[in-house]
């Protein structure tokens, strides 16, 4: 198994290298290109990784790097960057991404370059006035998931973008349009390269940027810095709460020819990212890159530094924001987003294996419920539902929704001691557990009656039992009956007495309802079945009356009065 996994990885990496080598000769000869500001990479994170980002990009900056990366964005994002360059050259970049749904995202990017006024010269070298220069690019991109795996995670995404470009040099200006194309393929192997590191995946990315007619200043036309990038990356989660990425890009760009970019990023505890990278073919400087990132709640702060020899260092500062909480992409975390409209492509064996694993987690959830470990039960339910999405439309999906409401309403996850109050083997805790189980099974009236009985067992006990009663009443939309807040046995006795009184007054509907509620609390109560049969018989519903009497006779086959009544009605005994 390990040898097979190793051969698969070798094949993947080899394919990337060969494809990149094939791409290198295309347009590799350096030549003049206009709109050089389009070469400025806007993302400090990517720069810190040596500008090797074509298969890594999965945020708002994907509008620049690879529009296919937009497809996996889960919540709206905003990003902005400031680039302090050389000789008073500055660049600002702004990007936004808006998921229409998971697997379908619209992006916007705005790039602006400004240069402080500098000395101008005419064609014979004579000084003229001061000259200023600026450039602008603005456009929209769209990313879409095409194929998804067995748990509906995108594994093949594509994207495209269109942008408007405006460049000005003193009184001369030029405008044009350009397009970007991209694709990302993600491979999640069944057997990992490093078996102790979970959730490894490999990505292959392709992007073609700045495709379009050149800029024309007066009569001279200069081509755009069109580029083709092909790269791969390895993503892993050492320790479960950290992230390690290794990436490699091969790039062919008009004006620069072919160059190689490689980088790495390690994120510790989802808080601090450290990055390093290298780019070949740099005319000045070593090509080394470095950067750091800080993740604070919904804000990420990024910085990168690139040395350029005698010219000095280039510094980039970035800020990005997520408006919402991203769900984890690991299937066992309990929360995994799903691409609804992408086409499912997964081996039958994988789907069957996931269904088997899902049943294992449901078995664990059942055991947790029996032992009143509600927080653990909820986690195991979510794992099962994420592994087998078909379960969500059935009874287990309803149980998970209801248990989530109970756990949140009673704050069991926030205060573990409250869950312990429900697990103590005392009468009040036992009846409360019955109430919760009844609510999970969508028996709302039974759940309310049992919650009243739990609280009524000791109204001066722990406050969680009163909270449970109020919570179930609100969730089930069934009002609390204050006169029935009694211990379970007392409530049953009161209801049977109420049913008898109602029957003798001719209130047969009320008598039947009281008996039915007793049977919700105690299904083997012979007197309740017998009085229920009498109430139905008085109402003229002989079929239901016979069924109730037969239930009572099963509980007490020697009941002479009941046997005599059945014989008089000429009903066959069960």
Is 532 inside a domain boundary?
yes
Is 383 inside a domain boundary?
no
Q: Alpha-carbon distance 183 to 253, whole Å?
A: 18
Read off the pLDDT of residues 202-242 as tens digits, 9 standing for 90 and up: 999 999 999 988 887 767 778 888 999 999 999 887 766 78
Residue in this structure with the two tokens 């500062």, named with its chain if needed? 317
Mean pLDDT of 135-162: 87
Q: Dihedrals φ, ψ of 139, to 5°?
A: -170, 175
Is 137 inside a domain boundary?
yes
The residue range of the domain holding 502 is 488-568
Is 337 inside a domain boundary?
no
Domain boundary (331, 364, 389) is at 331
Is 348 inside a domain boundary?
no
Q: Are 566 and 549 in contact (CB under 8 A)?
A: yes
Q: Alpha-carbon distance 458 to 479, whole Å?
A: 20
Helix extents (H) in 410-523: 416-423, 427-440, 444-457, 463-476, 488-504, 508-521
On the question of pLDDT at 429 being above 70, the answer is yes
Residues making up the chain, counted from first to last: 574
Q: How many domains does the chain have?
A: 2
Is 251 inside a domain boundary?
yes
What is the helix, strand, coil percentage profile of the chain, to 5?
40, 30, 30
Q: Cα dist. 268→187, 233, 242, 265, 275 in Å?
A: 24, 19, 5, 10, 12
Domain boundary (315, 331, 347) is at 331
Q: Alpha-carbon distance 513 to 520, whole Å?
A: 11
> Domain containing 564 — which CATH number?
1.25.40.10
Q: Alpha-carbon distance 55 to 37, whole Å?
A: 22
Round to the nearest angstrom and report the end-to-end CA distance of the chain. 61
Domain boundary (331, 365, 393) is at 331
Name, in order, each residue with C-beta under 8 angstroms of 372's C-beta and a sequence gap of 6 or more: 419, 422, 423, 429, 433
User: What pLDDT does 78 receive?
Assistant: 94
% of residues, the chain, pLDDT over 90: 48
Q: Alpha-carbon distance 143 to 152, whole Å?
A: 17
Show the tokens assigned to 69: 């990366």
> Domain containing 165 — which CATH number?
2.40.160.40
Is 395 inside a domain boundary?
no
The most confident of 234-248, 287-301, 382-396, by mean pLDDT: 287-301
Mean pLDDT of 399-426: 89
Read off the pLDDT of residues 359-376 as tens digits, 9 standing for 90 and up: 878 888 898 998 899 999
Picking from 143, 236, 146, 145, the residue whose alpha carbon sits closest to that of residue 188 is 236
Cα dihedral value 474, 418, 397, 189, nearest 10: 150
Name, in order, each residue with C-beta under 8 angstroms of 240's C-beta and a sequence gap of 6 or more: 198
Is 381 inside a domain boundary?
no
User: Could you tell me the pLDDT band of residue 15, with boundaries at 50, 70 and 90?
Assistant: very low
User: What pLDDT does 336 receive?
Assistant: 58
Show the tokens assigned to 321: 């924001």
Q: Alpha-carbon distance 423 to 377, whole Å?
A: 14
Reduced to 3 states (helix: H, G, I; strand: E, B; else coil), residue 45 is: helix
């Amino acid at each position: 198994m390990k040898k097979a996994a190793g051969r698969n990885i070798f094949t993947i990496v080899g394919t990337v290298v060969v494809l990149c080598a094939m791409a290198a000769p295309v347009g590799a000869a350096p030549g003049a290109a206009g709109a050089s500001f389009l070469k400025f990479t806007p993302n400090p994170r990517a720069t810190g990784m040596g500008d090797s980002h074509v298969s890594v990009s999965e945020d708002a900056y994907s509008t620049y790097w690879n529009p296919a990366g937009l497809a996996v964005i889960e919540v709206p994002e905003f990003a902005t960057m400031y680039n302090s360059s050389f000789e008073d050259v500055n660049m600002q970049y702004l990007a936004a991404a808006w998921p229409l749904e998971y697997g379908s995202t619209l992006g916007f990017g705005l790039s602006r370059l400004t240069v402080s006024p500098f000395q101008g010269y005419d064609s014979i070298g004579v000084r003229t006035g001061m000259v200023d220069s600026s450039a602008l690019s603005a456009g929209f991109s769209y990313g879409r998931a095409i194929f998804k795996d067995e748990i509906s995670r995108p594994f093949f995404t594509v994207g495209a973008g269109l942008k408007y470009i405006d460049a000005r040099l003193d009184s001369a200006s030029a405008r044009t349009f350009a397009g970007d194309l991209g694709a990302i393929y993600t491979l999640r192997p069944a057997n990992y390269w490093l078996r102790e590191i979970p959730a490894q995946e490999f990505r292959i990315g392709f992007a073609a940027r700045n495709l379009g007619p050149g800029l024309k200043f007066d009569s001279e036309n200069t081509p755009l810095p069109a580029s083709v990038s092909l790269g791969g990356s390895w993503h892993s989660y050492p320790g479960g709460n950290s992230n390690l990425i290794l990436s490699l890009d091969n790039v062919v760009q008009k004006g620069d020819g072919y160059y190689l970019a490689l980088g790495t990023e390690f994120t510790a505890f989802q808080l601090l990212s450290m990055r390093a990278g290298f780019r070949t073919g740099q005319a000045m400087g070593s090509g080394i890159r470095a950067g750091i990132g800080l993740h604070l709640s919904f804000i990420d702060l990024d910085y990168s530094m690139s040395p350029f020899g005698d010219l000095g260092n280039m510094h980039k500062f970035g800020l990005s924001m997520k408006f919402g909480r991203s769900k984890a992409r690991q299937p066992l975390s309990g929360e995994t987003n799903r691409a609804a409209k992408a086409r499912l492509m997964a081996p039958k064996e994988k789907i069957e294996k996931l269904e088997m694993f899902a049943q294992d987690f449901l078995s664990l959830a059942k055991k947790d419920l029996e032992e009143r470990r509600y927080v653990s039960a909820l986690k195991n339910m979510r794992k099962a539902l994420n592994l087998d999405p078909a379960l969500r439309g059935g009874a287990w999906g309803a149980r998970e929704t209801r248990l989530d409401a109970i756990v949140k309403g009673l704050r069991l996850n926030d205060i573990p001691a409250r869950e312990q109050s429900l697990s103590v083997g005392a009468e009040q805790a036992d009846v409360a557990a019955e109430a919760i189980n009844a609510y999970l099974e969508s028996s709302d009236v039974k759940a309310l009656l049992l919650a009243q009985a739990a609280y009524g067992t000791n109204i001066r006990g722990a406050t969680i039992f009163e909270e449970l009663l109020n919570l179930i009443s609100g969730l089930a939309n069934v009002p609390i009956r204050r006169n029935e807040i009694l211990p379970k046995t007392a409530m049953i006795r009161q209801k049977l007495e109420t049913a008898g009184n109602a029957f003798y007054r001719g209130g047969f509907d009320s008598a039947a309802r009281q008996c039915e509620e007793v049977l919700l609390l105690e299904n083997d109560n012979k007197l309740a079945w017998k009085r229920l049969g009498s109430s139905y018989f008085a109402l003229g519903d002989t079929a239901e009356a016979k069924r109730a009497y037969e239930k009572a006779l099963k509980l007490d086959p020697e009941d002479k009065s009941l046997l005599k009544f059945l014989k008089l009605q000429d009903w066959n005994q069960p």
